[in-house]
Amino acid sequence: MGSFPFLVTLILAVAFSVHSCPPSDRAALLAFKAALTEPYLGIFNSWTGTNCCLNWYGISCDPTTARVADINLRGESEDPIFEKAGRSGYMTGKISPEICKLDHLTNLVVADWKAISGEVPDCIVSLSSLRVLDLIGNRISGEIPAGIGNLQRLTVLNLADNDISGRIPPSIVNLASLMHLDLSDNQLTGEIPSDFGKLSMLSRALLNKNQLTGSIPTSVSCMRRLADLDLSMNRLSGSIHSELGSMPVLSTLNLDSNSLSGQIPPNLLGNSGMGILNLSRNGLEGQIPNVFGSKSYFMMLDLSYNKLKGPIPSSLSSAKYIGHLDLSHNHLCGSIPVGYPFDHLEASSFTNNDCLCGNPLKTC
Ligand X SMILES: *[C@@H]1O[C@H](CO)[C@@H](O)[C@H](O)[C@H]1NC(C)=O
Residue nearest to ligand X (CB): 256
**134 Cβ contact partners less than 8 Å away, ≥ 6 residues apart:** 107, 108, 109, 110, 111, 156, 158
Task: Give yes or no for a contact between 155 and 132, defined as CB atoms under 8 angstroms apart.
Answer: yes
Yes or no: say if 116 and 96 are a contact pair by the CB < 8 Å rule: no
Contacts of 114 (CB under 8 A, 6+ apart): 75, 89, 90, 91, 137, 138, 139
Binding footprint of ligand X, residue count (CB under 6 A): 9
Interface residue with ligand X among 256, 282, 332, 353 (CB under 6 A) is 256
- Yes or no: say if 111 and 105 are a contact pair by the CB < 8 Å rule: no
Report the nearest approach of ligand X to the CB of residue 265 (Å): 18
Is the separation of the CB atoms in 154 and 176 below 8 Å? no
Taking the complex as a whole, how short is the minimal distance between the CB of residue 308 and ligand X, in angstroms? 15
- If one asks whether residue 302 binds ligand X (CB under 6 A), the answer comes out as yes
From the list 26-34, 51-59, 176-184, 273-281, the region that binds ligand X by CB under 6 A is 273-281
Q: Does 280 bind ligand X (CB under 6 A)?
A: yes
DSSP character string of 34-82: HTEE-TTT-TTTT--SS-TTSS-TTEEE-TTT--EEEEEEESS---HHH
Query: Given the complex with ligand X, which of 113 and 305 has the nearer CB atom?
Result: 305
Cα separation of 164 and 183, whole Å?
Answer: 9
329 in contact with ligand X (CB under 6 A): no
- Please report whether residue 278 would count as binding ligand X according to CB under 6 A: yes
Q: Which residue lies nearer to ligand X by CB, 171 or 352?
A: 352
Distance of closest approach, residue 342 Cβ to ligand X, in angstroms: 17
185 binds ligand X (CB under 6 A): no
Using the rule CB under 6 A, give the single segment among 157-165, 181-189, 210-218, 275-283 that binds ligand X. Answer: 275-283
Q: Least Å distance between CB 353 and ligand X?
A: 17
- Which C-beta is closer to ligand X: that of 112 or that of 185? 185
Report the residue number, 135 or 183, with the smaller CB distance to ligand X: 183
Nearest approach, Cβ of 352 to ligand X (angstroms)?
Answer: 14
Cα separation values, 312 from 26, 133, 353, Å: 65, 45, 11
Nearest to 172 by CA among 211, 199, 132: 199
Specify the length of the chain in residues.
Answer: 364
230 in contact with ligand X (CB under 6 A): no
| Choice between 232 and 296, CB closer to ligand X | 232
Is 330 a residue that touches ligand X (CB under 6 A)?
Answer: no
Check: CB of residue 148 under 8 Å from CB of residue 172: yes
Confirm or reject binding of residue 299 to ligand X (CB under 6 A): no
Residues that bind ligand X (CB under 6 A): 232, 256-257, 278, 280-281, 300, 302, 324
